[in-house]
Amino acid sequence: MALLVSRGAQGLSAAFLQPATIGLISATFAAGPARSRALAVWGAIGASGLAVGAILGGVLTEFSWRLTFLINIPLTLLAALGGLLWLAAASRTERGRASPCPPR
């Protein structure tokens, strides 16, 4: 039962994540080539992740089906670390730019 509930929660989370991601891309990139490129990259990475996930899931289940759930922990930590590093670099870049509005 716990397995079914976990998989349902995982699917529900993915269902909420997809429109939020597309909305974020649409809000970040102006309509035109930049947004088209961003959506293409997002789609390519998503398709690659789907293919790798299916293959990796098959390999992991050869050892234990439980590993298919445990693999998400290090991947999530790695993604969070990458996001924090990216945000820190973006923050440093933003501070180095001149403000478009003069201070009051």
| Inter-residue contact 61 to 67 (CB < 8 Å) | yes
In a domain, 40, yes or no: yes
Query: Could you list the residue range(s) of the whole structural domain that residue 70 is in?
Result: 35-91
In a domain, 57, yes or no: yes
In a domain, 9, yes or no: no
Domains held by the chain: number: 1
In a domain, 6, yes or no: no
In a domain, 27, yes or no: no
**Digit-coded pLDDT (tens) for 5-34:** 988 998 899 899 889 999 999 999 999 999
In a domain, 8, yes or no: no
**Digit-coded pLDDT (tens) for 48-90:** 988 998 898 899 899 998 888 888 899 999 999 999 999 999 8
d(CA 14, CA 7): 11
d(CA 102, CA 97): 13
In a domain, 21, yes or no: no
